[in-house]
């Protein structure tokens, strides 16, 4: 896979450390509020509480709840303590796994995680809510008054988050509002990179302070009049959500994935020392030569613009033949079954995986997946096959 490497830049990897998170929970983290009801006020129970995937926010919510409501500090919520939380016996029963009549720490975590999943909330919603609160909470009361958000750029639907119409957002209201808006954006194909790009455009070109772009402001950030077709409310300017929809549409038409989009922006941002949006092509080299893709510097002026980077990465993505999701799945399957550590799967490793005929790891599919004829499957080959068979 041909890639561009920025001089003096390094790549950092994030790894999940479940044990550390669990220990942090036992130590008593205190941040995220308990999410104790679905949007419609009803409560649902999973077929198996142990099938719920726990997130760090579930652990922090449990720790905070115990700090407030475990009055006798015995590490469990008794019937009376649950009643104080207005939890009924019907709600508690599915999570009382040891049938003790009390809810232990892990049982409460499962309950809160179930309610969070039913509300469609993910860890990123909590992270963003915490980030925005720290940034805009000027009086440090743990809430966001709507007046504190008059100049914000992260949402143009912020008023709708205020469910009780008290002109302020509690942590729970903010998390739920962000979750709802994220799900709506997902339906439109808008990803985090598009939302972030829209916010950057407004920060860059908003001259009159209305947190939108219109008229000459569009030209300032390199957008033409055709962009106004995304003006859904006919306001003659583009809001954050409208700009994000435009960027998502543009990204998908070019054939880029979110990781491609973020890479293009990061390459320019890290090396653009004078802020003109251009970086020297000499600062980059291709990790693998590929004559089919040519040079990112399409106009040969010695500089790389964001558009040139995006165009190059779109070509690269088309040549690769798989998206981020297929690449992630392929990487996981190889990591699970690569017994000799060569980052490939041989026929013996495919047999050892126990995959059935319908799996991409079926030994019978080796000849279909193995494109270079080396009798093994690497990540790219497996990702292309997964993409093709979606």
CA–CA separation, 29 vs 14, rounded Å?
21
The predicted pLDDT at position 290 comes to 47
DSSP string, 183-204: HHHHHTT--HHHHHHHHHHHHH
pLDDT tens, position by position, 145-164? 988 887 777 787 888 899 99
pLDDT band at 371 (very low <50, low <70, confident <90, very high): very high
The predicted pLDDT at position 209 comes to 87
The predicted pLDDT at position 277 comes to 81
CA–CA separation, 363 vs 357, rounded Å?
8
**Quick check: helix, strand or coil at residue 284?**
strand
The predicted pLDDT at position 19 comes to 33
Q: Of 277, 268, 302, 154, whose CA–CA distance to 221 is shortest? A: 277
CA–CA separation, 165 vs 312, rounded Å?
48
Q: Which two tokens stand for residue 132?
A: 């925005």
The predicted pLDDT at position 47 comes to 55
pLDDT band at 268 (very low <50, low <70, confident <90, very high): confident
pLDDT at 7 over 70: no
Which residues, listed in sequence order, are joined to residue 377 by a DSSP beta bridge?
A: 345
pLDDT at 3 over 60: no
pLDDT tens, position by position, 75-108? 999 999 999 999 999 999 999 999 999 999 999 9
Q: Of 155, 179, 174, 128, whose CA–CA distance to 239 is shortest? A: 155
| Residue whose token pair is 């000027």 | 138
pLDDT band at 49 (very low <50, low <70, confident <90, very high): confident
What average pLDDT score do residues 362-382 get?
Answer: 95
- For the chain, the average pLDDT equals 84
The predicted pLDDT at position 28 comes to 35
pLDDT at 271 over 90: no
Q: Which residue has the higher pLDDT, 185 or 293?
A: 185
C-alpha distances in angstroms, 263 versus 158, 186, 312, 315, 328? 29, 21, 11, 14, 17
pLDDT at 292 over 70: no
Q: Which residue has the higher pLDDT, 27 or 109?
A: 109
pLDDT tens, position by position, 167-219? 999 999 999 999 998 998 888 899 989 998 998 899 889 999 888 999 899 98
% of the chain surpassing 70 pLDDT: 85
pLDDT tens, position by position, 8-47? 333 333 333 333 333 333 333 333 334 433 444 444 445 5
All structural domains of the chain, each given as residue ranges with its CATH number in brackets, are 1-11+255-318 (1.10.238), 31-118 (1.10.238.10), 123-187 (1.10.238), 324-388 (1.10.238.10)
pLDDT at 272 over 90: no
CB distance 125 to 178 below 8 Å: yes
What average pLDDT score do residues 323-350 get?
Answer: 96
**pTM for this one?**
0.69
């Amino acid at each position: 896979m041909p890639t561009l490497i920025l001089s003096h830049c390094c790549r950092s990897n994030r790894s999940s450390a479940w044990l550390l998170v669990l220990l942090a929970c036992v130590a008593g983290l205190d941040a995220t509020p308990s999410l104790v009801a679905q949007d419609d006020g009803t409560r649902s129970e999973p077929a198996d509480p142990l099938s719920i995937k726990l997130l760090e926010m579930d652990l922090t919510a449990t720790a905070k709840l115990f700090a407030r409501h475990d009055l006798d500090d015995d590490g469990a919520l008794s019937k009376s303590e649950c009643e104080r939380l207005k939890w009924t016996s019907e709600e508690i029963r599915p999570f009382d796994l040891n049938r003790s009549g009390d809810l232990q720490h892990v049982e409460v975590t499962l309950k809160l995680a179930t309610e969070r999943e039913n509300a469609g909330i993910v860890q990123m919603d909590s992270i963003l809510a915490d980030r925005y609160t720290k940034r805009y909470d000027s009086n440090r009361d743990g809430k966001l008054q709507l007046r504190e958000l008059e100049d914000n750029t992260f949402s143009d639907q912020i008023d709708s988050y205020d469910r009780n119409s008290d002109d302020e957002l509690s942590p729970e209201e903010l998390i739920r509002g962000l979750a709802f808006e994220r799900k709506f954006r997902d339906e439109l194909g808008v990803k985090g990179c598009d939302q972030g790009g829209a916010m950057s455009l407004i920060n860059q070109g908003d001259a009159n302070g209305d947190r939108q772009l219109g008229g000459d402001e569009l030209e300032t950030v390199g957008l033409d009049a055709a962009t106004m077709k995304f003006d859904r409310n006919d306001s003659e300017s583009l809001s954050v959500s409208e700009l994000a929809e435009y960027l998502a549409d543009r990204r998908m038409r070019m054939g880029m994935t979110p990781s491609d989009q973020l890479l293009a922006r990061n390459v320019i941002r890290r090396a653009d020392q004078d802020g003109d949006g251009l970086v020297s092509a000499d600062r980059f080299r291709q990790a693998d030569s590929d004559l089919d893709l040519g040079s990112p510097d399409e106009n040969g002026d010695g500089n790389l613009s964001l558009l040139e980077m995006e165009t190059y990465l779109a070509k690269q993505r088309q040549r690769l033949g798989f998206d981020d999701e297929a690449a992630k799945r392929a990487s996981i399957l190889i990591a699970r079954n690569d017994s000799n550590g060569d980052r490939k799967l041989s026929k013996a490793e495919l047999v050892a995986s126990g995959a059935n005929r319908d799996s991409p790891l079926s030994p019978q599919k080796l000849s279909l997946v193995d494109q270079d004829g080396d009798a093994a499957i690497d990540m790219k080959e497996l990702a292309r096959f997964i993409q093709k068979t979606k």
